[in-house]
């Protein structure tokens, strides 16, 4: 059952999302060759607690850490370890926070030093597909419209769209209805209505869409060992249109990246 949020609840959820946004921004300046993932995980935990929130993933379904830390061929749900970051790695970092009873949940794939051009392109297209999908999260559309748009965009670049893992509704629980696949058919599935809040999160592979899981019971990786990327925003449906609750602006500020993608997104939505 989809739980519709009031305007007050959406403001609380914005705060929870921003706790994660700030945490990813803090990590952005720390993710470099030689950095220790477990140390960064502890920094993230402390940083979340300093903001009056709890790590959303720590202990959830018995997950052992604050961050889902998924380098290179790992898709999602990787576990931070003591293996130092290497030049050329890409790391998908997914983070959750619980504040005032509501979850924030979002993710970014970071580059460590200089990354291969083909991998940069995967990250860029995956992030673009996130906004392509979010634009379809509007009144009158359905779950399948978002998935269709993401799938079409990524497959047009020859990438594999992971099927087994999906986005989701978000609220007092980390995973609420509806499920939000990154593939689908136009006009199918649950209809969107104002007050829905979802996490949209394309998980896109450079090669095959097929995945496997490590014996740790968590880590998902690509079946062909090629890189994967993951970007996730929390989005509310307000006045018929998608409104971003999370932001990558803290990351961009830390990395000195000039990006108007979120502004452009908001502008495009005004004229839609
Ligand atoms: Mg997530
Ligand atoms: Mg999620």
Task: Round to whole Å and give the CA distance between 20 and 17.
Answer: 5
The pLDDT value given to residue 272: 45
The pLDDT value given to residue 264: 86
The pLDDT value given to residue 148: 98
Q: Which residue segments constitute the domains of the chain, with CATH numbers given?
A: 7-265 (3.90.230.10)
HSE on the CB side for 109, CA within 13 Å?
33
94 annotated to bind ligand: yes
b (16+ CB within 10 A) / e for 169-185: bbbeebbbbbbbbbbbe
168 annotated to bind ligand: yes
State the 10-residue block means of pLDDT for the chain, 272 residues long. 98 98 98 98 98 97 96 97 97 98 98 98 98 97 98 98 98 98 98 98 98 96 98 98 97 96 82 47
Centroid of ligand 1 to alpha carbon of 91 (angstroms):
14
Task: Round to whole Å and give the CA distance between 119 and 261.
Answer: 20
201 annotated to bind ligand: yes
Distinct helix (H) and strand (E) counts, the chain: 6, 15
Phi, psi of 150 (to 5 degrees): -65, -45
Centroid of ligand 1 to alpha carbon of 185 (angstroms):
23
Centroid of ligand 1 to alpha carbon of 194 (angstroms):
22
Task: Round to whole Å and give the CA distance between 6 and 134.
Answer: 20
Centroid of ligand 2 to alpha carbon of 242 (angstroms):
17
């Amino acid at each position: 059952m989809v739980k519709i949020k009031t305007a007050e609840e959406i403001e609380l959820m914005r705060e929870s999302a921003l706790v994660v946004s700030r945490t990813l921004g803090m990590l952005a300046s720390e993710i470099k060759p030689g950095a220790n993932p477990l140390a960064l995980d502890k920094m993230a935990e402390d940083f979340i607690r300093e903001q009056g929130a709890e790590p959303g993933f720590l202990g959830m379904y018995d997950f052992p850490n604050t961050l889902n830390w998924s380098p290179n061929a790992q898709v999602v749900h990787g576990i931070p370890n003591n293996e130092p970051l290497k030049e050329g790695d890409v790391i998908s970092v997914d983070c959750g926070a619980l504040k005032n009873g509501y979850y924030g949940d979002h993710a970014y794939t970071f580059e460590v030093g200089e990354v291969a051009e083909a991998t940069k392109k995967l990250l860029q297209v995956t992030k673009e597909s996130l906004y392509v999908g979010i634009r379809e999260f509007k009144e009158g559309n359905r779950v399948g419209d978002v998935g269709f748009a993401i799938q079409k965009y990524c497959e047009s670049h020859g990438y594999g769209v992971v099927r087994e893992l999906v986005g989701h509704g978000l609220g007092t629980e980390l995973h609420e209805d509806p499920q939000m696949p990154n593939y689908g058919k136009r006009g199918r599935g649950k209809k969107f209505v104002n007050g829905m809040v979802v996490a949209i999160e394309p998980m896109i592979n450079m090669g095959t869409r097929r995945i496997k899981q490590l014996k740790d019971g968590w880590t998902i990786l690509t079946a062909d060992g090629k890189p994967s990327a993951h970007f996730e925003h929390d989005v509310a449906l307000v006045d018929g249109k998608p409104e971003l609750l999370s932001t990558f602006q803290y990351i961009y500020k830390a990395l000195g990246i000039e990006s108007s993608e979120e502004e452009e997104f908001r502008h495009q939505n005004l004229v839609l």
